Amino acid sequence: MTAPRVVTLHPGDVAVGVRGDRLETLLGSCVAIVLTDPRRTVGAMCHFVYSGPSAQTTPVSTAQADQALAAMAQRLQVRGIAVPFCDAYVVGGGNMFPEIVSGASVGDDNAQWALRTLAAQGVRVLSVDVGGRVYRRLRWTVGPQAPQIEAVPL
């Protein structure tokens, strides 16, 4: 039997784990999407920045978000899991510069991109923890429990 792994994701990373593996990351304005099969035997996480319209979108940043989700889909498909049949959690998208940005922030754009994209793919989102003026530490052990989210003040 293989021991459970602990994988720490950084911006641009994608990871897939099986029951018992732990996926974790620290988020500011970036967003993490967690996808899992309904039985919670396999899970995937990506950590991305989209930098949407209010942040003067560049093709590179938009591509990172698209590529992260495509990589998750491909890695899940190898395990026989199709994204539209997954459940999702969306976390992050904070405003890291509240003294400078009073309206929509990069974090807001990141979160909205994730929610729009998952909706377009027919993915059921179980929980959303986005926005605000905090960092978030996200930890998830692949299995039946929801991810653990800890707010870390600026």
Q: Which domains does the chain have, with CATH numbers?
A: 6-132 (3.30.1330.200)
More confident residue, 153 or 14: 14
* pLDDT score of 46: 96
- Among residues 123, 153, 125, 121, the alpha carbon closest in space to that of 137 is found at 153
Region 127-144 average pLDDT: 96
pLDDT, the chain, mean? 89
Mean pLDDT for the stretch of residues 73-78: 96
Q: How far is CA 57 from CA 44, 45, 46, in A?
A: 26, 23, 20
Cβ-based neighbour number of residue 97 at 10 Å? 15
Give the SS3 label for residue 148.
strand
Tokens of 55: 């942040």
pLDDT tens, 138-147?
A: 999 999 999 9
The residue count for the chain = 154
For the stretch 28-53, what's the b/e string if a residue is b when 16 or more beta carbons lie within 10 angstroms of its beta carbon? bbbbbbbbbbeeeebbbbbbbbbbbe
Say what the pTM is: 0.89
- Average of per-residue pLDDT across 22-43: 96
In terms of pLDDT, which residue wins out, 62 or 151? 151
- pLDDT of residue 59 exceeding 50: no
Q: Flag whether pLDDT at 65 surpasses 80.
A: yes
Report the relative pairing of strands 87-92 and 124-130 from DSSP bridges: parallel
Query: Looking at residue 51, what is its pLDDT?
Result: 61
Number of alpha carbons in the 13 Å side-chain half-sphere of residue 13 = 13
Output the pLDDT for position 56: 42
Q: What is the pLDDT of residue 3?
A: 82
Q: Which pLDDT score is estimated for 52?
A: 56
Question: Rounded to whole angstroms, how far apart are CA atoms 5 and 152?
Answer: 25
Q: For the chain, where are the alpha helices, taking DSSP H only?
A: 59-78, 106-120
Q: How far apart are CA 126 and CA 137, in angstroms?
A: 18
